[in-house]
Amino acid sequence: MSELSRRGVFLDEIGLGPLWLRRDGGLPEAEPIDADATPQQAFAPAIEIPVAESPVEAEAVVQAQSVPLNNAAVSAWGDDDAPVTSPVTTTTVLPAAMDWRQLQKAVAGCTACGLCRGRKNTVFGVGDNKAKWLFIGEGPGRNEDIQGEPFVGPAGKLLDNILLAMGLKRGENAYIANIVKCRPTDGTGRDRPPAADEVAACLPYLQRQIELIQPTILVALGKTAALSLLGLDPATPVSKLRGTVHRYADRPLVVTYHPAYLLRQLADKGKVWSDLCLAMSTYANVDR
Ligand code: SF4
């Protein structure tokens, strides 16, 4: 199959076809990546990306199961009439040492940043815990906050179609997560990018998820995800992020547009196709 045909099939698969051709049969001129474009111009929503100087390791307190005291033990303390009490042992576990159950519990009850105050649900992530592909977005939106699952609604449907076109499926060899687990909103209740301190507070959870999943490749969906993971200067032009295989924790990381952005800028579908081709070829060449 020619490159032209493959591209057409892909775009149809993700619901962004048809592929328009010039009368001479060629492809429309590809939109060049504007090297001078600011990140705000190249990606939407426009955001200030944090570079955490010293990421705060959010802590979770795991209440260890207390062991009930028996009467013999109480007698040994010399007071048979004393009430039988169960001392509570408290163990502090950092995200970096948590297993899946502890991590989910810690996120569900987390108050490490101000985003906890406005959330309906935390959005932990979804998918195959042993997935080879990890897709990372920015943060929950309104629908995600209500349902407690990442990438639902129109952007989620588009991501599902993209996964299908790549031979993947939500929950099968793919895991989907966000940089922050609670929905960031502005003063009017609308979605906004997470602030630097919110990213710094939440990132240890995602870092632990990555350690537990051990994915072969990461795909950063949008600027927040890319710059947060790579720790780059927020002024880094997006044109310098796409088209390159980056490294995160010794794993390849490819950057593409967030599906919500792609829904607004269908003209960039060809760029997404290019990014995913790069990701798929990188994945195929990784020594597993
Ligand atoms: S966004 Fe992350 S760090 Fe902030 S409250 Fe939610 S889970 Fe905790």
Contact indicator for 255, 226 with CB cutoff of 8 Å: yes
Residue 119 has pLDDT above 90, yes or no: yes
250 in a domain, yes or no?
yes
Q: What percent of the chain has pLDDT over 90?
A: 63
Comparing CA positions, the residue from 131, 138, 135 lying closest to residue 212 is: 131
189 in a domain, yes or no?
yes
69 in a domain, yes or no?
no
Please choose from 59, 61, 113, 145 the residue to mutate so as to test ligand 1's pocket, defined by most ligand atoms within 8 A of CB: 113
Distance 28 CA to ligand 1 centre (A): 44
Please indicate, yes or no, whether the overall pTM of this predicted structure exceeds 0.85. Answer: no
Please choose from 115, 191, 199 the residue to mutate so as to test ligand 1's pocket, defined by most ligand atoms within 8 A of CB: 115
Which pLDDT score is estimated for 44? Answer: 28
193 in a domain, yes or no?
yes
Q: How far apart are CA 230 and CA 248, in angstroms?
A: 7
Which pLDDT score is estimated for 59? Answer: 44
Which pLDDT score is estimated for 2? Answer: 58
Work out the mean pLDDT of the chain and round it to a whole number: 79
Distance 254 CA to ligand 1 centre (A): 25
Residue that the structure tokens 């108050």 belong to: 111
Q: Pick the more confident residue, 238 or 173.
A: 173
pLDDT digits (tens, 9 = 90+) for 139-166: 999 999 999 999 999 999 999 999 999 9
Distance 144 CA to ligand 1 centre (A): 14
Count: domains in the chain: 1
User: What's the domain range around 207?
Assistant: 95-285
Six token digits for residue 7: 């591209």
Q: How far apart are CA 236 and CA 18, in angstroms?
A: 33
Question: What mean pLDDT do residues 37-64 have?
Answer: 36
CATH number at residue 209: 3.40.470.10
